[in-house]
Structure 1
Amino acid sequence: KIVFYEDKDFKGKSYDCKGDSVDLQSYIRRCNSLKVEGGWWVLYERSNFTGYQYVIGPGDYNAYHKWMGFNDCVRSCRIIKIRLFNRPNFGGQSIEVTDNMKSVPEQWQRNEVLSCKVLVGPWVFYEHPNFSGRQYLLEKGDYRHHTEWGALRSTVGSIKRVTQ
């Protein structure tokens, strides 16, 4: 989750956000500080995910210049995420991932990913746990089958989001 504050140093009116928001202006007029309690987020200067973008991770930001903001305008936000499926064409069981996974089998009880939807941000799939083995870069989009991201096998051992 992410908490927006109208004033610096986590003061003034606040808003707790747990997911994507197309218009924050109905909750806060401005944003001078914030706390990211989980995941990586994209903040947008304007509503509907437009304007300048800021990619931020977990931490406390007591003033907008701490996240490299130009001003106190944050009007929409989106959590960086990817959805994995255990069947082709987005079928079967699925899991939404918003942070790095050092070991996919430990967190999802499987290491096969047969399709996925990259909702926000680029991600790297690794063939083995601990970010090792063959690597596959996945950008925003739908991948109906593991061959669409260039893999010969559907084995995914770990996942890392690209933040820089």
Structure 2
Amino acid sequence: MCCVCQGKDLGLEKKDGVLSLFDHSNQGGDRGRSEPGAEASQLSLFFPSWVAFEYPDFQGQQFILEKGDYPRWSAWSGSGGHHSDQLLSFRPVLCANHSDSRVTLFEGDNFQGCKFELTDDYPSLPSMGWASKDVGSLKVSSGAWVAYQYPGYRGYQYVLERDRHSGEFRNYSEFGTQAHTGLLQSIRRVQH
């Protein structure tokens, strides 16, 4: 089975939003129109950025998919994180803008405790001076970010956008459906 998701099918204004899914690695298998519950072994992205989820209805582990090809599941799962060989729901990231990306991290829930404002990528939050291993809450003022469980952009991925929750994530549980802890140790801007 194969699936081609286009922006217009997802309610987008842009006509060039295309995500091609193939049922075999290296672009093998048939190409067809988007079908609910489609699984993929290989992906090609033509819209700048997407968020893929391992379960339907945007549930489970999140995977950031930026423009390019993903020949096997290991390419989207990354290193040191949860590995999933199926992706069952997708949505585009619409607010990735590097010229004006800003996020503020807070040590505690509800924007309490020590805070730090970021406008650039940080492969290691502890090395830049963040004293805690956890982030209790955060505010995305602009742009789209992907935060990782471990330094070096490894581990679980959390896509954090200004257009979700009005950019306010009051507790780590709002980072994603799989977030069971506030452990965040690296963060970067979503590529577009």
The TM-score range, normalised by the shorter chain, is 0.5 to 0.7
| Per-residue CA distance 1:55-74 (angstroms, 9 max, x = gap) | 456xxxxxxxxxxxxxxxxx
Q: 2:107 maps to what in 1?
A: 86
The alpha-carbon distance between structure 1 residues 54 and 114, as it changes in their structure 2 partners (threshold 3 A), is closer
Whether 1:104 and 2:125 are equivalent positions in the alignment is yes
Amino acid at match of 2:153: F
Q: 2:186 maps to what in 1?
A: 158
Aligned partner of residue 92 in structure 1, secondary structure: coil
Give, in whole Å, the separation in 2 of the partners of 1:147 and 1:103.
Answer: 22
| Per-residue CA distance 1:54-111 (angstroms, 9 max, x = gap) | 9456xxxxxxxxxxxxxxxxxxxxx311000000000011000000111011111222
The alpha-carbon distance between structure 1 residues 96 and 54, as it changes in their structure 2 partners (threshold 3 A), is closer
Q: 1:66 maps to what in 2?
A: none
Give, in whole Å, the separation in 2 of the partners of 1:82 and 1:131.
Answer: 17
Amino acid at match of 1:84: L
The alpha-carbon distance between structure 1 residues 105 and 55, as it changes in their structure 2 partners (threshold 3 A), is same
Whether 1:125 and 2:151 are equivalent positions in the alignment is no
With the length of structure 2 as denominator, give the TM-score of the two structures.
Answer: 0.45
What is the percent sequence identity of the aligned residues? 37
Aligned partner of residue 119 in structure 1, secondary structure: strand
Q: 1:142 maps to what in 2?
A: 168
Give the unaligned 5+ runs of structure 2: 1-94
Give, in whole Å, the separation in 1 of the partners of 2:146 and 2:96.
Answer: 20
Give, in whole Å, the separation in 2 of the partners of 1:128 and 1:90.
Answer: 22
Amino acid at match of 1:146: Y
- Structure number with the higher strand fraction is 1
Give the unaligned 5+ runs of structure 1: 1-52, 58-78
**TM superposition outliers: structure 1 runs of 4+ over 2 Å:** 53-57
Aligned partner of residue 142 in structure 2, secondary structure: coil
With the length of structure 1 as denominator, give the TM-score of the two structures.
Answer: 0.52
Give, in whole Å, the separation in 2 of the partners of 1:119 and 1:143.
Answer: 11
Shift of 1:158: 0.4
